[in-house]
Structure 1
Amino acid sequence: MTTQSTATLEPQPSMFCFQCQEASKGTGCTIKGVCGKPHDVANLQDLLIYTIKGIAYLSKDIQLSNDINRRISLMITDGLFTTITNANFDREFFIDKIREALALRNEVYLFWQTCVGATLSESIPLPDAAVWNGYTAEELDEKARHIGVLRTTDEDIRSLRELLTYGLKGMAAYTYHADHLGYVDHGIDQFMLRALAATLDDTQGVSELLALAMEAGKYGVDAMALLDQANTTTYGHPQVTKVNIGVGQRPGILISGHDLHDMEELLKQTAGTGVDVYTHSEMLPAHYYPAFQKYDHFVGNYGNAWWKQTSEFESFNGPILMTTNCIVPPKASYMDRIYTTGNTGYPGVQHIPDGMDGQPKDFSPLIEQALQCQAPTEIETGEIIGGFAHNAVMNVANQVVDAVQTGAIKRFFVMAGCDGRMKSRSYYTRFAEELPQDTVILTAGCAKYKYNKLNLGDIGGIPRVLDAGQCNDSYSLVVIAMKLKEAFGLDDINDLPISYNIAWYEQKAVIVLLSLLYLGVKNIHLGPTLPAFLSPNVVNVLVENFGIAGITTVEDDMQMFMEA
């Protein structure tokens, strides 16, 4: 059997990662991630992705049993999701995960050999990702130094391969959560296989990879719809809700991340214990679901977006549960109070494993510790309003349509996406403050923390900030736009009075962008910087075909949007 080998490639820098908006110097992290990710962990993450691409390549065209197909889908989803920015920093986790992936890939290879290899008279060239092997930590580290992003030397091919891979990481975040609630779409699983395999195929040129990236947008919409179905069927449709941002007198547990299934299990286990539960960052929208509103110890939201956790976790005083991204390297002052679960991990932090045989996770260590802690220190007071997912907005659709037709609402601004540490992100606060009083912001994701506590008022009872929920709830914004298009009798979604000024940070924002492009949305503005992984030629294609642009100043952008 002939294989493509990476043995002759020169090692790349100690690491290279440019998958998030905060890539060092706007080009890529080469020594340590801005996120805090050590170089060896970054390389092992690349090796895990490399290995699951090998699994995809071998399995894409052969018939396998339902059992092994299921294990492949879980491995690919878990592997993609656990390498998303700020999810897992634990070196030992990745060593174990790579070994697990290699074992599965070798099992798939035996099936491939039976179904394909043995039927041909000459050997089949396979990519190195499909055949390499290693086991010791030293072997994995050495291999990881040679297979990173820079192994693809053509800048445009590299750009499109990474655009596709990062889109798949974002897609995996949706399917991961849907799967935990028992919702699976085999069509999405098969596309992931085909797309991952294509990134190993040197016959796939710019046009083929660009077409795949656009097709990823189609499956991104499917994945978002699947998760929306899973969440709303399980927990009810989000309702317009006022959420307390103050604190009570009892000890508390703070839950962050995105996983509603973990939220449900934690609320059940803390009921009647004397411990309150608070949400943080992207878990805020859990308050909007009817299934969680019945718990009287579910008392409010504490703090702001993910990047402020190092100060807010200190003052919370009690245990913190990280269910998914976004975790940042914890400070020593609360290291003994932070826990991870699922695909999230950090060295030295206690991890809550999955329950055996489908049983709930055991959150008793957090409850026991909480009972020994002081109540949270108050950092703010008041309420914020949210829950404007597609069902809630459609319930007042006539009111919204009337407001547009009478001129009370001149324009909607989709300001969804991510928050982050860069000072330049203050642009989004100032942009919200400067918007005319006859405009409404549609948002989802932690980008809302740049303006959701501003007193922006309402228009005839319609709040000027309509929060649909997590970044995982971005589908609601798609549904709202499509329903408005229908209500106004328009043929083109771009004829709606909607402008897109989106902040991005990580890979879930990438799949949202690809999904919007698939739906035909044009003239999306993306900031605070364009992705470092987009080559100049790929940017030009997106500009020419879709009108993608960056941001400039609040004043200039405001004038441009309002004159559109």
Structure 2
Amino acid sequence: MSMFCNQCQEALRNVGCDAMAGVCGKTSETANLQDLLIYTIKGVAHFNQIAREHQLNRKETDRVVLDGLFTTITNANFDDQSIMNKIEKALTERETIRLSLVDQGIIDSHQLLPDYAAWSGNRSVFEAKSEEKRVGLLAGENEDVRSLRSLILFGLKGMAAYAEHALNLGFTKDEIIAFVEKGLLVTEDDDMTADELTAFVLETGKYGVDVMALLDEANTTSYGHPEMTEVQIGVNSDRPAILVSGHDLKDFEELLEQSKDSGVDIYTHSEMLPANYYPAFKKYDHFVGNYGNAWWKQKEEFESFNGPVLFTTNCIVPPKASYSDRIYTTGSTGYPGFRHIPDRVDGQKKDFTEIIEHAKRLPAPEQIEEGTIVGGFAHNQITQLADQVVDAVKSGAIRKFFVMAGCDGRMKSRDYYTEFANELPNDTVILTAGCAKYRYNKLPLGDIGGIPRVLDAGQCNDSYSLAVVAMKLKEIFELNDINELPIEYNLAWYEQKAVIVLLALLHLGVKDIKLGPTLPAFLSPNVAKVLVENFGISGMTDVETDMEAMMS
């Protein structure tokens, strides 16, 4: 059995992982099952789009679609049993909707259906079915069509992740879920031309803005607006602790509440760092700070942490045996042998008792660094500093802003971003979000008149905040075009949430984005040419050359 996967920045040879395992560590069996899960969800979307037209769609279906897409994001789920469970659930959901439509006389039970809406079978057929060419990313003969379909699909995966986080907090919009379903079907529509698919790519960006705005509303309504915060990065206690990774703030809240009188401390890791910025979480005395850096350093950092680690979302790195028995997953995540905390049932909270009790039996974390870092500069906080920022720009104290948001990763070439930040002139400010910030958020870059030179808005979804700030500055300076602002974009990407952020920026009209460390493998030469010619997207070269071009 072989696989083909080109959805992340680590795609082998910048073409695609096509052997027995991917660079991320997932096996070919896992990769193919993930393709089959997406294929099956397209069948759910086929019938649910009809159900929506007749107001017969169910809320349960939304979670099946979103969770299925989220499960297939890079480094989220490596557990074949978990993925097969989700395929079975999707098949059941698809059949439930179909029978409902038949019973209502809306569709004929004998009508001819596309394969993704008709195939069925138990686990004994999953492997063979998952290897069919029409199931995976290589379906279709035209390279440009495949490329555009991939761009849409990967954008939908990012949208689904953000929509699921919002849904967990009780926030949803039917039009967003309906668009996700529509997009899944577009990737199977052989009648759509490359031009029509290109237009749909940009429409995906529009809904990307909408879903990030929805999640921003969900997070800030639930936990308050992020505020400028000094975060401890050392270990200041001899108490046992739990380390929380990922992005889901609802999981984080429930763990904090259930552990508050347990004698166990809570630390954030990687993309959970911005939880430190929310007012609602500051009331918990046992929430003591952040431990470690970006996701790809987890092998050494989980080793020294000593306590249990909770993955609320991606990014999982296949673990060392020495600490694998203290890793827990929840939500869409999974890994063979890891203990999984079940989903909420009937509105009840998740039960984190097992991981809390586990922590009590383990030693305290070892110190790996000390000091503090400052963050919490989402759009509400920066708006409060608007007069100070505008004055600094008008006086020339701030010459340019550099948006250096996105993902971090393992490649040596990503040292570029640390060097770029170090070499930026002292009259520039970095706007960041996502785990890319770990390349420079601990550098001694100082401030400009009290404004830190690294303004961290939060998680990757908080790239929305950076867009809000840009639009606000455009209004303040009475400009006609967002590209007239003194803002340059030097973005790093790794997985599919970065794809939807990029499409959202394109929808907002942002041009001349530098994207690295490599352009996506799923862009065909012709599709890449369109992005370059229409939007000025380019790859990174070297720090000196890029710096000169962006400062000119």
Shorter chain as denominator, the TM-score bin is over 0.9
Equivalent residues in 2 for 1:493-504, closer than 5 Å: 493-504=482-493
Q: Is the 8 A contact 1:127 1:200 kept in 2?
A: no
- Aligned mate of 2:460, from 471, 481, 500: 471
Q: Does structure 2 retain, via aligned residues, the 8 Å contact 1:59–1:112?
A: no
Query: How far has the Cα of 1:411 moved from its partner?
Result: 0.4
**Does 2:129 match 1:143?**
yes
Partner residue in 2 for 1:4: none
Equivalent residue for 2:193, pick from 199, 205, 210: 205
Please list the CA deviations of residues 63-118 of structure 1 after superposition, one character each: whole Å capped at 9, or x if unmatched.
Answer: 47767431221111111111101101000011111111111112223345565543
Judge conservation of contact 1:62–1:115 (CA < 8 Å) in 2.
no
* Deviates most, 24-33 or 54-63: 54-63
Does the Cα contact within 8 Å between 2:51 and 2:57 map onto a contact in 1? no
Q: Alignment partner for residue 148 of structure 2, among 147, 160, 174?
A: 160
The match for 1:44 is 33
1:347-373 deviations in Å (ceiling 9; x for gaps): 100001124322211111111111111
1:442 pairs, out of 415, 424, 431, with 431
Task: Specify every segment of 5 or more residues in structure 2 that has no aligned partner in the other structure, as ranges.
Answer: none
1:293–1:66: structure 2 CA closer, same or farther, 3 Å change rule? farther
**Partner residue in 2 for 1:249:** 238
- The residue number in structure 1 matching 2:214 is 226
| Secondary structure of the corresponding residue to residue 486 of structure 1 | helix
Residue equivalent to 1:238: 226
1:131 maps to which residue?
118
Confirm or deny that 1:170 pairs with 2:158: yes
CA distance in 2, matches of 1:544, 1:69: 43
Do the aligned residues in 1 keep the contact of 2:295 with 2:316 (CA within 8 Å)? yes
Q: Secondary structure at the match of 2:323?
A: helix
| Residue 305 (str. 1) matches residue 291 (str. 2) | no
Q: Partners in 2 of 1:67 and 1:446 — Cα distance?
A: 40
Aligned residue among 9, 18, 27 for 1:30:
18
CA-to-aligned-CA distance 1:447-496 (integer Å, 9 cap, x gap): 00000000001000000000000112111001000001011011100000
Tell me which residue corresponds to 2:108. 118
Query: Deviations 1:119-164 (Å, cap 9, x if unpaired)?
Result: 9xxx85532111111112x300000001211122210110011100
Tell me the distance in 1 between the aligned counterparts of 2:316 and 2:196: 36
1:42-66 deviation line (CA, Å, top 9, x unaligned): 0000000011112212332444776
User: Residue 36 of structure 1: SS of its match in structure 2?
Assistant: coil
- Pick from 204, 208, 212 the counterpart of residue 216 of structure 1: 204
Per-residue CA deviation, residues 252-292 of structure 1 (Å, 9 max, x unaligned), is 11000001011111111111211110000000000000000
Q: Which amino acid aligns with 2:136?
A: G
Who is 2:333 aligned against?
344
Give 1:534's aligned residue. Answer: 523
Look up the match of 2:266. Answer: 277
Q: Which amino acid aligns with 1:105?
A: R
Q: Which amino acid aligns with 1:216?
A: T
Alpha-carbon spacing, 1:63–1:222, altered in 2? closer, same or farther (3 Å): closer
Name the structure 2 match of 1:8: none
Q: Secondary structure at the match of 1:358?
A: coil
RMSD after superposition: 1.4
Task: Tell me the distance in 2 between the aligned counterparts of 1:449 and 1:24.
Answer: 24
Alignment check: 8 A CA contact 2:233 2:372 kept: yes
TM-score, length of structure 2 as denominator length? 0.97
State the partner residue of 1:424.
Answer: 413
Give the alignment partner of residue 448 of structure 2, picking from 459, 467, 480: 459
Is 1:319 aligned to 2:312, yes or no? no
**Partners of 1:348 and 1:118 in 2: CA distance:** 44
Post-superposition CA distance 1:21-60 (Å, at most 9, x none): 0001111011211111111010000000011112212332
Answer yes or no: is the 8 Å Cα contact 2:224–2:280 preserved in 1: yes
Give the superposition deviation at 1:305. 0.1
CA–CA distance in structure 2, aligned partners of residues 415 and 429 of structure 1: 11
Judge conservation of contact 2:25–2:318 (CA < 8 Å) in 1.
yes
For residues 419-474 of structure 1, the C-alpha deviation after alignment (integer angstroms, 9 at most, x for no partner) is: 00000000000000000000000000000000000000100000000000011211
Q: Is the 8 A contact 2:48 2:57 kept in 1?
A: no
Which residue type is aligned with residue 217 of structure 1? G
Contact 1:414–1:499 (Cα < 8 Å) also in 2: yes
- Contact 1:60/1:197, CA 8 A, preserved across alignment: no
Residue 279 of structure 1 contacts residue 302 of structure 1 at CA under 8 Å; is this kept in 2? yes
Q: Which moved more, 1:291-300 or 1:65-74?
A: 65-74
CA distance in 2, matches of 1:515, 1:68: 28
Q: SS at 1:118's partner residue?
A: coil
Tell me what 1:180 maps to: 168
Distance in 2 (CA, whole Å) between partners of 1:106 and 1:162 is: 27
**Aligned AA (2:316):** I
Distance 2:105 2:10 in 1: 45
Give SS of 2:455's match. Answer: strand
Match of 1:290 in 2: 279
Aligned to 2:81: 92
Residue 56 of structure 2 is aligned to residue 70 of structure 1: no
Query: Percent of aligned pairs with the same residue?
Result: 64
Aligned mates of 2:340, 2:96 — CA distance in 1: 29
Q: Which amino acid aligns with 1:433?
A: N
TM-score (normalizing by structure 1):
0.95
Letter in 2 for 1:45: Q
8 Å Cα contact 2:71-2:332 kept in structure 1:
yes
Any gaps of 5 or more consecutive residues in structure 1? Answer: 1-12
Does 2:401 correspond to 1:412?
A: yes
Q: CA deviation at 1:328?
A: 1.1
* Residue in 2 that maps onto 1:7: none
- The 1-side partners of 2:323 and 2:56 are apart by 42
- Give, as a single letter, the amino acid of the residue that structure 2 aligns with 1:130: A
What is the alpha-carbon distance in structure 2 between the residues aligned to residue 390 and residue 170 of structure 1?
21
CA distance in 2 between counterparts of 1:385 and 1:536 reads: 41
CA contact (8 A) 2:51 2:97 kept: no
Quote the Cα distance in structure 1 between the aligned partners of 2:364 and 2:14: 41
Mapping of 1:475-514 within 5 angstroms? 475-514=464-503
Which residue is equivalent to 2:351? 362
> What is the correspondence of 1:373-388 to structure 2 with a 5 Å cutoff?
373-388=362-377
Partners of 1:387 and 1:307 in 2: how far apart? 23
- CA spacing shift, 1:63–1:551, aligned 2, 3 Å: closer
Moved more, 551-560 or 144-153: 144-153
Query: What is the distance in 1 between the residues matched to 2:501 and 2:119?
Result: 34
Change (3 A) 1:16 1:319: same
Cα distance between partner residues in 2 of 1:125 and 1:459: 66
